[in-house]
Amino acid sequence: MNSYITLTPWDLALASIFVLVNAGLSLALELHIHRQMLIAALRMVVQLSLMGLVLTALFSVMSPLWTMVAALGMVLFAGREIAARQERSFTGLWSYGLGTVSMMTGSLLVTIFGLTAALRPDPWYDPKYAIPLLGMILGNGMTGIALGIQGLTAGAMQRRGAVEAQLMLGATRREAMGPVIRQALRSALMPIINSMSVTGIVALPGMMTGQILGGVSPVEAVRYQILIMFLIAGGTGIGAVTAVMAGAYRLTDQRHRLRLDRLRPAKS
C-alpha cells in the first residue's frame, strides 16, 4: 500500500523549468502572457501548500464546524474566480453574488449527496473525503458556471435586436430570452460532456492517477473516478442552470424589458 515515491522540493524545482520555458516563449513570441503564467504558477504553489497545511490541520481536529468553514472558504474563492472571468459583469451585488450563490447551490448539493448516499464515510463530514470531493466539484463546476454566465451576457448583447424584436411583438421575457438561455447552457455543459467522452481514452484524471500512484488497485480507483465524474456533471448542471436562469431574470424585468443597463461595460 505505502510504496509511493516521496517527492523532494528539488524534484518540483526541476519540473518548474517548463513553466519558465513557457514564460520565455511568451517573451520571444510577444504573447504578453509571461506575467500571468508566472503569477498563476506561483499562486498554485502557494495555494496548494496552504491547502496541504489546512488539510493536515482539518484531519487532526475532525470538527464538522471547521470542515464547513474550509468548504465555505473554497466556495467563496470559486465565486470570486467566476466573477473575475467575466468580460461584462452584472452591476452591484449580482456581479459576485450570481456565480457564488449558483456555485454554492450546485456544489454543496452534490457534495452532500456524494458523502451521504455514495461514499458514506464515518462521520459523513470526514474532511479527508469532504474537502477533496468538494474541491474537484468546484474546480469543474466553476468553469461551467463561468462559461454559462459569459454565454448569457454576451448572447444578450449580441442578440439584443432579436430579443427586443420579440418583446415588441408581445413575447414574454421567457420566450424572448429562450434562445440566449439555451445557447448559454449548452456552452456551460459542453466541457463536462467533452471531458466525460475522453476520460479513460485520452485523459486519465488526476484523482484516479493519484490513487493508483498511492497503491489503490486500478479497478477501485476507476470506481471512484466514475462517481466523481457523475457528481461533477450534477454540480455543474445544477450550478449552471441556477446561474443562467437567475442571470436571465436579472437581465429582464417585471415589465418584460431587456435590461442591458444592469451590465457593466466590457473590460478593455
Partner 1 sequence: MLDIAGLHRPGLMPVSFALPSGACIAVRGPSGAGKTLLLRAIADLDPCEGNVSLDGVNRVSIPAPSWRRQVSYVPAVSGWWADTVGDHFQNWSAAAPLLAHFKIPEDAAAWPVARCSTGELARLALARALATQPKVLLLDEPTGALDDETTAAVEAVLLDRIAQGAAALWVTHDTAQAARVASRFLLVEGGAVHEAAQL
Site residues for partner 1 per CB under 8 A: 159-172, 179, 253-259
| The three cell numbers locating residue 257 | 424589458
DSSP reduced 3-state for 203: strand
| The three cell numbers locating residue 203 | 485523459
Q: Residue 129's closest CA among 184, 202, 33, 207?
A: 207
- Whats the size of the chain, residue-wise? 268
| The three cell numbers locating residue 85 | 472571468
Of 112 and 171, the one with the shorter C-beta distance to partner 1 is 171
Rounded to a whole number of angstroms, the minimum distance from the CB of residue 142 to partner 1 is: 31
Give the Cα separation of 268 and 260 in Å (integer): 18
Rounded to a whole number of angstroms, the minimum distance from the CB of residue 261 to partner 1 is: 8
| The three cell numbers locating residue 4 | 509511493
Of 220 and 253, the one with the shorter C-beta distance to partner 1 is 253
Give the Cα separation of 235 and 49 in Å (integer): 26
The owner of cell 477501485 is 220
| The three cell numbers locating residue 64 | 464538522
The answer for residues whose C-beta is within 8 angstroms of residue 24's C-beta and 6 or more apart is: 34
Of 128 and 174, the one with the shorter C-beta distance to partner 1 is 174
Rounded to a whole number of angstroms, the minimum distance from the CB of residue 268 to partner 1 is: 25
Rounded to a whole number of angstroms, the minimum distance from the CB of residue 182 to partner 1 is: 12
Of 126 and 164, the one with the shorter C-beta distance to partner 1 is 164
Question: Quick count: other Cβ atoms within 10 Å of Cβ 228?
Answer: 21
Of 11 and 253, the one with the shorter C-beta distance to partner 1 is 253
Distance, first Cα to last Cα, the chain: 53
Give the Cα separation of 259 and 132 in Å (integer): 39
| The three cell numbers locating residue 241 | 442552470
Q: CA–CA distance from 91 to each of 58, 83, 122, 188, 262 (Å)?
A: 37, 11, 44, 22, 6
Rounded to a whole number of angstroms, the minimum distance from the CB of residue 175 to partner 1 is: 9
Of 162 and 193, the one with the shorter C-beta distance to partner 1 is 162
Rounded to a whole number of angstroms, the minimum distance from the CB of residue 177 to partner 1 is: 11
Rounded to a whole number of angstroms, the minimum distance from the CB of residue 259 to partner 1 is: 8
Of 85 and 259, the one with the shorter C-beta distance to partner 1 is 259
